[in-house]
């Protein structure tokens, strides 16, 4: 024993099982992409993936952190009807909607100024982006609330569980919605 | 806290993270050639980016807690606690890169039997997963430690800085690593005559 508070062994043992489970979700998301040779060749659709997943995952993490802190401090009660819980949920939905709109405008401006050739029309690309963002944010916020309440009621510390779950599930939903939207309107 | 105050606080960070996402997206958008040359490579991408997020944000938050608990102090930032954290993170990253490579190529192989995906290149996928993760992990560990150090020197709470910074630049660094290593792997495997 090294006599330190943190030990490499403890860090690995506590993280590895959850990481292995979550990487499977990411692999399934990757396999979805793997089935469509068309999408793998579409630069501008691929470009959307890190943006949608990054912003979605962060909105979920912020909501998760707020709810779990609220539960710990006691200003949120672990039930769906709680007023502060609903306020935080609404905040995340409004936040998500606004950030995706602004990012859509930024993507539009960048492609116009830099004269990027998009493989599909910029309008279709923006519709894919905004629609997948809307689906992701809505589903993810509800998953976030559900997993925070569930882990808290089970007596587990939601801090260790909610963020990893929300980001990995978020990647999965983000990629799936981009794929579905692209197949629906992009090609 | 007031609704709009909460909104403003998160809004700027999220826009920055979105711009980081565009940077990362530009790298991914330029990878179509590698994605075509190495069947199954795409499967690694969400997995490596996702794992990077999970491994390094937890490292960042542990270091933040260590600062708050006084285990790491400005005079002794590179002490035993830091060493254990770096070691633990590196072991996790290496183990996960191996597991990710195995899961990715095995699932691709099984699915290719049904014909829905192309049959994967085991060797290329294992090499890219392990080498790309190893190199980007070293960069990201150095990056995370630097953020904690700088936040510390400036008197800021590392908890508020590591998360957003990693969210903004982490995906970009990870994708750049995969981009460079997959390009190099294709070149080397081609040169030694292992068919792709």
How many residue contacts between A and B have a Cβ separation below 8 Å?
208
Whether this model's ipTM surpasses 0.85 comes out as: yes
- Closest-CA distance, A45 to chain B, in angstroms, reads 8
Across all residues in chain A, what is the average pLDDT?
Answer: 90
Query: Is there a contact between A33 and B71 if contact means CB atoms under 8 Å apart?
Result: no
What are the tens digits of pLDDT across the range A167-181?
Answer: 889 999 999 999 999
At A106-118, the pLDDT tens digits run 999 998 888 777 7
**For chain B, give me the number of helices (H) and strands (E)?**
6, 0
A154 min Cα distance to partner chain B (Å): 22
pTM of the predicted structure, to 2 decimals: 0.90
Domain-embedded: residue B196: no
Q: Which residues of B touch A178 (CB under 8 A)?
A: none
| Nearest residue to A145 via CA among A70, A74, A73 | A70
B63 alpha carbon, distance to own chain's centre: 18
Q: What are the sequence ranges of the domains in chain A?
A: 43-186
Q: How many domains does chain B have?
A: 1
pLDDT digits (tens, 9 = 90+) for A132-182: 999 999 999 999 999 999 988 888 777 777 888 888 899 999 999 999 999
| CATH 1.20.58.100 is right for the domain spanning A43-186 | no
Residue B34 domain-assigned (yes or no) = no
Q: Across residues B60-85, what is the average pLDDT?
A: 85
pLDDT tens per residue, range B110-136: 999 998 898 998 899 999 999 999 999
Confirm or reject contact between B106 and chain A (CB < 8 A): no
B12 touches chain A (CB under 8 A): no
Please indicate, yes or no, if residue B7 is contained in any of the structural domains.
no
What's the CA gap between A72 and A81, in Å, rounded?
Answer: 17
Backbone angles phi, psi at A156, to 5 degrees: -90, 160
Residue B194 located in a structural domain = no
**pLDDT reported for residue B195:** 59
Domain of residue B106: give its range: 48-185
Answer whether A168's CB lies under 8 Å from A29's CB: no
Q: Which residues of B touch A51 (CB under 8 A)?
A: 18, 21-22, 24-25
- Confidence band (pLDDT; 50, 70, 90) for A1? very low
Report whether pLDDT(B25) > 90. Answer: yes
Interface probe for A, chosen from B7, B14, B69 (most Cβ of A below 10 Å), is B14
Is B16 within 8 Å of chain A by CB? no
Closest CB to A50: pick one of B21, B58, B87. B21
Q: Are B112 and B119 in contact (CB under 8 A)?
A: yes
Asked if the C-beta of B14 comes within 8 angstroms of chain A's C-beta atoms, the answer is yes
């Amino acid at each position: 024993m090294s006599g330190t508070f943190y030990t490499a062994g403890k860090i690995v043992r506590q993280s590895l099982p959850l990481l292995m489970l979550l990487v499977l979700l990411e692999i399934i998301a990757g396999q979805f992409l793997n089935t469509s040779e068309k999408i793998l060749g579409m630069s501008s659709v691929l470009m959307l993936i890190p943006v949608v997943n990054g912003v979605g995952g962060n909105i979920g993490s912020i909501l998760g952190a707020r709810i779990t802190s609220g539960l710990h401090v006691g200003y949120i009660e672990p039930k769906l009807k709680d007023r502060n819980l609903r306020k935080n949920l609404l905040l995340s939905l409004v936040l998500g909607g606004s950030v995706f709109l602004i990012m859509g405008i930024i993507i539009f401006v960048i492609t116009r100024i830099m004269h990027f050739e998009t493989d599909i029309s910029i309008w279709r690309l923006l519709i894919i982006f905004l629609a997948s963002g809307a689906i992701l944010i809505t589903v993810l916020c509800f998953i976030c609330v559900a997993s925070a309440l569930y882990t808290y009621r089970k007596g587990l510390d939601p801090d260790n569980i909610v963020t990893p779950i929300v980001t990995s599930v978020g990647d999965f939903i983000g990629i799936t919605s981009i794929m579905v939207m692209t197949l629906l309107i992009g090609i | 806290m007031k609704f709009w105050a909460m909104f403003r606080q998160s809004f700027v960070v999220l826009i920055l993270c979105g711009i980081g996402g565009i940077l990362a997206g530009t790298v991914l958008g330029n990878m179509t050639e590698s994605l075509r040359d190495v069947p199954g490579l795409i499967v690694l991408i969400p997995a490596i980016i996702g794992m990077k997020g999970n491994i390094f944000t937890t490292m960042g938050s542990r270091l933040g807690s260590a600062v708050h608990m006084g285990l790491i102090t400005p005079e002794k930032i590179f002490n035993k606690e830091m060493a254990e954290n770096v070691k633990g993170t590196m072991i996790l990253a290496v183990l996960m890169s191996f597991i990710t490579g195995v899961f990715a190529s095995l699932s691709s192989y099984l699915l290719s039997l049904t014909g829905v995906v192309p049959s994967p290149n085991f060797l290329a996928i294992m090499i890219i997963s392990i080498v790309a993760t190893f190199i980007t992990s070293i960069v990201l560990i150095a990056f995370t430690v630097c953020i904690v150090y700088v936040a510390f020197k400036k008197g800021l709470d590392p908890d508020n800085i590591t998360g957003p910074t990693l969210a903004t630049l982490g995906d970009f660094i990870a994708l750049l690593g995969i981009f460079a290593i997959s390009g190099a792997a294709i070149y080397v495997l081609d040169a030694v005559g292992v068919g792709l």
